[in-house]
Amino acid sequence: MSTIAIAGNKGKGVRSDCQISVSLTKNKGLEITLDSKVKTMYGRSIVELTEKIFNFFGIKNAQVLIEDSGALEFILAARLEYAIKQLIKTDLEFLPEFLKENKDVTTKDRSRISRLYLPGNSPSLMINAGIHNTDGLILDIEDAVAPAKKDEARYLVRNALRALNFYGAERMVRINQGERGLIDLEFIVPHYVNLILIPKCENASQIHSIDAKIAEIKKLHKMKHNVWYMPIIESAQGVINAYQIATASENVVALAIGLEDYTADLGTKRTNEGTESFFARTMLVNASVAAGVQPIDSVFSDVFDMEALKQNVLKSKGLGFVGMGCIHPRQIRVLHEYFAPDSDEIEKAKKIVLAFDDATAKGLGVVSLGTKMIDPPVVKRAMKSIDTAIAAGKLQKDWKKTEMERMADEAVSKKK
């Protein structure tokens, strides 16, 4: 009796996915049965891909059932490979073609106002995620994937990192905790993941072991690109060790807080007022700022209450956070709108930037606004505010030109 290996998903409500059932046979060749809603358009190419993959793994005799609901090639390939790997032992990997833009690396201090969580084993939610203008897209193979599906999700996430267009969003993966998380890295680091979210981070040694593992993988693949970390602090222990975590590696770029687990750890309840997490949040902001990384707030779970989200963002910004997680694309815009500087902040930033330009033009080493001297970090922050305001659509790209014209007009009318 041969065993049947199964990978992927089917059934009502499943879209853009497939389920593969494979059993090895003795000498009947490759018997492929395809049940697909796109059979007319892609039946031929699905069969060709299947033959190619079985050939790649050196399997000549097998029964293959493909139940397809419109899976793209990289999804089909991930499902086929995982089905095969349950039946044979091999180190080979069948990798889809790399999109050119998916080899882009990101900078340490890029904007991370919004990052959208996507369940790492649900292709239909991934395909269009990039069009919603989020700073980062997280393929989540931790809490968003059922334990029994975690192995197959690795193949899907690996293929997505190569073949899915992220439309400029930072390519992030939330790995699992502990040993499983270290193996997750083998599936994502060689494929130019930009940033890794490290769940339930409690101490610096967790970061060190990830650092070591990544160095090993990069060496093996002769790769040099940076992989950033965003540890998620989700316990009292983690809060207390926040600064050590933030400074545990050069590659930590942000600290995020996970309030559901944190409040559970405290044995309290998460409330809208957030009194119970006030210490943790301010601790995290302080640790981040002290370490020179970005403090990032927890997700807001009511995806339909935009007003409550807005209030939450304003409070978060007030505490010093610079970004937040999203669990639905509709939240993204609210984050960008309210984490972005308000009109008073924009006006102030404009003045500082213009004063800086003026000083530079005059060859002055010191920037001053009226009678006040402006320190370099203040200038830098003002420039960043301006960038954020432009990105949020609150300020025109060519604001300087408009501003100059306005000032010239004012000068003229004063003369009159």
Partner 1 sequence: MKFVKNALGRLVPDEVNGQKQIPFKGVGKHRPTGRKHAPMISSCIDYPADGNKMLTSIKDALKKCGLKNGMTISTHHHFRNGDLVAQMIFDAAAELGVKNLRWAPSASFECHSSLIKYLEDGTIRHIEGSMNGALGRFTSEGKMKGIGILRSHGGRYQAIQDGELKIDIAVIAAPTADPFGNATGDRGPAACGLLGFALADSQYADKVVVVTDNIVPFPCIPWQIHGNYVDFVVKIDKVGISEKIVSGTTEITKSPDRLLLAEWTAKFCDEAGIIQNGFSFQAGAGGTALSIGIYFADILRERGMKSRWARGGSNKYLVKMMEDGLVDYILDGQTFDLEGVRSMRENPGHVNTSPFTSYNYHGKGNFASMIDVVILGATEVDVNFNANVVTHSDGCLLHGIGGWQNCIFSKCTILPIPLFRDRIPVIRDACTTICGPGELIDVIVTERGIAINPLRKDLIAKMKNSNLPIKTIKQLKDEAEAICGKPDNPEFTKDPVAIIKWVDGTVIDTVWKIKK
Q: Where do contacts with partner 1 occur on this chain (CB under 8 A)?
A: 15-16, 37-45, 69-73, 127-128, 131-132, 165, 328-330
We find the least distance from the C-beta atom of residue 122 to partner 1, in angstroms, to be: 14
Which of residues 7 and 71 has its CB atom nearest to partner 1 in the complex? 71
As measured in angstroms, the least distance from the Cβ of 16 to partner 1 is: 6
Long-range pairs, 396-402, Cβ under 8 A, ≥24: 399/350, 400/353, 400/354, 400/357
Which residue number, 99 or 236, has a Cβ lying nearer to partner 1? 99
The minimum distance between CB 268 and partner 1, in angstroms, equals 33
Q: How far apart are CA 167 and CA 155, in angstroms?
A: 21
Block residue for tokens 């926040």: 242
Q: Which is nearer to partner 1, 165 or 247 (CB)?
A: 165
Minimum distance of partner 1 from residue 27's CB (angstroms): 31
Q: Least distance from C-beta 246 to partner 1, angstroms?
A: 33
How deeply is 30 buried, as exposed, middle or buried, from its count of CB atoms within 10 A (0-12, 13-18, 19+)?
A: middle
CA angle centred on 152, ends 151 and 155, rounded to 5° = 105
Count of residues making up the chain:
416
CB of 41 to partner 1, least distance (A): 4
Spell out the long-range contacts of 380-384 with Cβ–Cβ below 8 A and sequence spacing 24 or more. Answer: 381/349, 382/348, 382/349, 382/352, 382/353, 382/356, 383/349, 383/353, 383/356
Between 167 and 243, CB nearer to partner 1: 167
List the structure tokens of 224. 């040099």
- Give the three-state DSSP class for 298: coil
Q: How far is the CB of 69 from partner 1 (least distance, A)?
A: 6
Handedness of CA 336, 173, 95, 206 (dihedral sign): positive
- Name which of 131 and 404 has its Cβ closer to partner 1: 131
Count of CB atoms situated within 10 Å of the CB of 51: 13
CB-nearer residue toward partner 1: 289 or 327: 327
Count CA atoms within 13 Å of residue 212 on its CB side: 7
Residue 227 or 324 with smaller CB distance to partner 1: 324
Given the complex with partner 1, which of 127 and 382 has the nearer CB atom?
A: 127
Cβ nearer to partner 1, comparing 69 with 385: 69
Q: How many CB atoms lie within 10 A of CB 310?
A: 15
Q: How far is CA 389 from the centre of its chain?
A: 22
* Paired strand residues for 30: 62
Q: Identify which of 277, 284, 268, 266 has the alpha carbon closest to the alpha carbon of residue 300.
A: 277
CB of 116 to partner 1, least distance (A): 10
Min dist. Cβ of residue 219 to partner 1 (A): 33
Q: Please name the residues in contact with 376: beta carbons below 8 A apart, sequence gap of 6 or more.
A: 367
